[in-house]
Each structure stands twice: as C-alpha cells, then as structure tokens.
Structure 1
C-alpha cells in the first residue's frame, strides 16, 4: 500500500511531490500524514533511512525513466482521475532529477544512521 500512496503523491497532487519533498517529510516524521498512508507503515517496511532512500530513488527512477517513455507511446485511455497522464500531467523524457537539497538531506540522514 505504501507505494500506491507514493505514486499518488508523484502524480495526483496538484503540486506534485518531488523526491526532495518526500525525503523532507520523511526526515520530519510527517511523510505518512502528507501522503495519506497509515501511521507506522514506514517503520514496518523500512528498517533504516538507507533502505527508505534506496527504495525512494528506485521508484523515482522507474517513474521518471522507462515509465515516461512507455506512457508517451501508449494509446489514449479513459482517464479515471483528475490528474491523468497527457493533457493535465505533462512529462519530459529527460529522466529523473535529484536536487542538490535532496542530496544534502540524503547525506545528513545517512550520516546520522551510522
């Protein structure tokens, strides 16, 4: 269920969540509230910040990588959400980008965990 909420944050929020925002919320302990998933779910899934970060980066790269190419190639489909891919949700094939702030926060979280 967590990844469903994560993808919803990437796609359906009016101001789509970025990895920087997700990691900021994780560091502040508010991620579950921000994306709407069950409290305590992250602690059940991820034993450490490193596991969480690896998972976040993996899914962001999949979402922004091959997923974009396949969505662009796909034929039109019935939109069942307000943020459908296509007209309302514009995408670029430039690949996933991780901001400087994200990288600094990542290093901070990983250094605290050592």
Structure 2
C-alpha cells in the first residue's frame, strides 16, 4: 500500500531555504534588553561621573554604582519594550496542530 503525502496538511520544514527568516519574540526581547542595558549602564556611568558632587572616594564609587544600576535598568526596560514590539511585528507564529483524519 502506497502512502502519499497530502501537501495541504503538512507543515513546511523549518530548514527550508525558501522560508523567510523568522525571529522568535523572546529572543528579540532578551537581545534588545541586554544590548540596551549595557549601553544604558555605560551612559549612566559617564553621566554619574560627569555630574558627580561627592568629595571622597567611597561616595564617588557609590554614586557611580547607582548611576550604572539606574542606566542599565532604564536601558533594559527600553530594550525589552522595543524587542517585544519588534518581536510581535516580525515574529513567528506558532503553527496550528493538524489533526490526523
């Protein structure tokens, strides 16, 4: 008995080169959050050093540490939001399960 494949009910192979590149939304959120978090931490460190009013070494280090945390946090939130928007717009949709007939 010969088994023929019904092309209407099969999902295309994910390794098929004819398919456009798809981006997983969770990857965009994580990627953008990490990248913009690092950029935000560097910007926060530079801004913390630039506007520093502390006179001693320990207060200056604490000020720089807080600036790095604030900048990194702001960058991670912004990157996560941007990544979520791009992931939804350009992301992959989960295919429906095909019930065998």
TM-score (norm 2): 0.29
The structure with higher relative contact order (CA 8 Å, sep 6+) is 2
Pick the structure with greater CA Rg: 2
TM-score (norm 1): 0.27
